Amino acid sequence: MSVEQRVQNHFHADAHRFDAIYEDDKSLLVRWIDGVWRGVVRKRFELTLELLAPLTGKTLLDVGCGSGRYCIAYAERGATRVVGVDFAAAMIDLANEHARQAEVSDRCEFRAGIFPDAVPEETFDASSAMGFFDYVADPVPIVARMRELTRSKMILSFPKSREWRAPVRRVRFWFNGCPLFLYSEQRVREILRESGVTAYDWIELDRDYIVAARL
């Protein structure tokens, strides 16, 4: 089975558990576990909204949109068109459901499929791919395509390879049959150079490197 197929299967089965990281209604123990192991998920969400503000009147692309939390937040902050793409069908179902509940379905389009094939031929003011490169064997063509589709700002996250939680994460994903890719700072900078991204801010956030690229 290919890397993509295994990642897709994993997130199709894991969609509800992953999405629950964004919910506050859970036991103290689960909240503590999420805080230690997955606290970065909510931290990078808040940081991305700060980095992309103001969003009024903007168009956005979110690659590996998962359950649509970013897309919905973009639309709630005034974006006029948001496209989210993800190849896990259960994630896209959740994204559509959340968008309906938040009453932003008219501004959010969720596409079920692989990036970049599933994205329309149009450009966006800004784009994001958060918690996505953890599952991508070759990021260069993906970052290069995102750059072509984006006019102004691009926010990307890459998980650190040298970090105290990395060995446990590797074992957990191996055990679950899902490929996981971790990065050194040098490798991320090479990926950016090979993708043609030259101007960017570099932010260290918990177990991730965050890149805020200016195009």
Ligand X SMILES: C[S@@+](CC[C@H](N)C(=O)[O-])C[C@H]1O[C@@H](n2cnc3c(N)ncnc32)[C@H](O)[C@@H]1O
Q: Considering the complex, state which of residue 57 and residue 120 has its C-beta at the smaller distance from ligand X.
A: 120
Helix axes 69-76, 28-52, angle to 10 degrees: 50
Q: With CB under 6 A as the contact rule, which of the stretches 31-39, 60-68, 164-172, 178-186 interacts with ligand X?
A: 60-68
Question: Which of 61, 75, 88, 108 touches ligand X by CB under 6 A?
Answer: 88
Residue 30 makes contact with ligand X by CB under 6 A: no
Cβ atoms 214, 153 nearer than 8 A: yes
Q: Considering the complex, state which of residue 66 and residue 158 has its C-beta at the smaller distance from ligand X.
A: 66
Residue 143 makes contact with ligand X by CB under 6 A: no
Structure tokens at 89: 């069908």
C-alpha separations of 66 from 19, 110, 179 in Å:
8, 10, 17
Q: How many CA atoms lie within 13 A of 21 on its CB side?
A: 22
How far does the chain reach from its first CA to its final CA, in angstroms?
36
Cβ atoms 205, 160 nearer than 8 A: no
Provide the minimum distance between the beta carbon of 29 and ligand X in the complex, in angstroms, as a whole number. 22
Provide the minimum distance between the beta carbon of 181 and ligand X in the complex, in angstroms, as a whole number. 10
Residue 4 makes contact with ligand X by CB under 6 A: yes
Residue 87 makes contact with ligand X by CB under 6 A: yes
What are the residues binding ligand X (CB under 6 A)? 4, 7-8, 11, 18, 41, 64-66, 69, 85-88, 91, 114-115, 130-132, 135-136
